[in-house]
Amino acid sequence: MEIFLYGVRGSIPAPLSNEEYREKVISILRLVAKSEGKAFSSPEEWFDGLPEPLNYVVGGNTTCVRIIGSSGVELVVDLGTGARVLGEDLVREKFGQGKGEASVFFTHTHWDHIHGIPFFKPLYIPGNKFTFYSPLEDLPERLKYQQEPRFFPIHFDHFGSERNFHRLEKGEVLEIGGVKIEWIALKHPGGSIAYKFTENGKSFIFATDAEYNGEDFPLIQEQKPFFKGADLLILDAQYTLDESFQKFDWGHTSYTMAVNCASSWEVKKLALTHHEPAYSDEILAIILDDARTHAENLGAKDLSIVLAREGMKFKLV
């Protein structure tokens, strides 16, 4: 099972600003000056050796995740603005020939998780087949509403592809192309869903737009059977701890609580996601360092923590 991240920002797209780009370049040039002309085998090798976050950008697109099972089955979670980039990749494959088939799982329908749909090219190509999954009874109406003529020139019903809807029932477990899919409800205004994908004994859980705070320890324990031992957990970590107190009931988790949850659930790897749009790459790098320090202080020495970034790939075998 392979997992590809196409969008990791929360709430609204946040492209890299000119000022942030300038600061990155200046910081790199300072390192060049300090190297005093020391030889290196290739520019690529030198660049890869730069300290974080100078050798990457976190990315500004909102939530979109691609999962490919060992059978080749295509699964997608959410169609935020990252879906536009995913669509470009898919049309270079069989979706560009109208021979693609994918299952799309929606966590919820807040804008940052659906507003890439009108720009997702595979939906326009006849022959492609999509099944949309959600516990929401009115999911079709919600997606169509977004593309009414008042908001977008092409209606949802005018896509060329075949689109079907599957309403998930409570406790329903699916198997698609050899991948087992389970789900639970999360605490978030308007509701949100965490999805668990399991194949060949390896599990990946995507749980964005979830709020866990100091009052939720009973809930954390209640949900432990679902999350326990996940090989990879991508979890909402939009806020600092102080911000989470100021934005109580806004539906997001601090990175400190995200680490607490992952430690309690005995997760192997935690990827922090749904990044605050106001945070620069440099601030997110500090958050990552703080999260790792917090894990060490908890005694969670076996917990690996990374920052979710556009273009990041995970392989569970």
Please state, in angstroms and rounded to a whole number, the distance separating the CA atoms of residues 22 and 17.
9
Residues 22 and 128 in one domain: no
* Strand 313-315 versus strand 2-7 pairing type: antiparallel
Query: Which range marks the domain in which residue 40 is found?
Result: 18-49
* Ranges 16-20, 34-38, 140-144, 281-285: which has the least confidence: 34-38
Residues 91 and 73 in one domain: yes
Residue type, 152: F
Please state, in angstroms and rounded to a whole number, the distance separating the CA atoms of residues 223 and 296.
23
Identify the band that residue 11 occupies on the pLDDT scale cut at 50, 70 and 90.
very high
Residues 25 and 104 in one domain: no
CB 256 within 8 A of CB 227: no
pLDDT tens sequence across 98-136: 999 999 999 999 999 999 999 999 999 999 999 999 999
Cis peptide before 53 (omega within 30 of 0): yes
pLDDT tens sequence across 16-50: 999 999 999 999 999 888 877 666 778 888 888 88
DSSP secondary-structure letter at 215? Answer: T
pTM: 0.95
Q: Which residue has the higher pLDDT, 174 or 213?
A: 174
Which pLDDT score is estimated for 181?
A: 98
Residues 95 and 244 in one domain: yes
Residues 147 and 239 in one domain: yes
Distances (CA, A) of 3 to 93, 143, 179, 223: 17, 25, 13, 23
Residues 42 and 155 in one domain: no
Residues 294 and 158 in one domain: yes
Residues 27 and 61 in one domain: no
Task: Output phi, psi for 153, to 5 deg.
Answer: -75, -20
Mean pLDDT, to the nearest integer, of 223-247? 91
Residues 141 and 240 in one domain: yes
The H or E element that residue 248 is part of is: none
CATH code for position 104: 3.60.15.10
pLDDT at 82 over 70: yes
Residues 42 and 62 in one domain: no
Residues 288 and 221 in one domain: yes
pLDDT at 145 over 80: yes
Which pLDDT score is estimated for 253?
A: 93
Number of separate domains in the chain: 2
The per-residue pLDDT of the chain, averaged, comes to 95
Mean pLDDT, to the nearest integer, of 149-172? 97
Which pLDDT score is estimated for 37?
A: 64
Identify the band that residue 279 occupies on the pLDDT scale cut at 50, 70 and 90.
very high
CB 179 within 8 A of CB 144: no
pLDDT at 267 over 70: yes
Which pLDDT score is estimated for 46?
A: 85
Which pLDDT score is estimated for 215?
A: 87
Residues 32 and 121 in one domain: no
pLDDT at 84 over 70: yes
Please state, in angstroms and rounded to a whole number, the distance separating the CA atoms of residues 309 and 58.
5
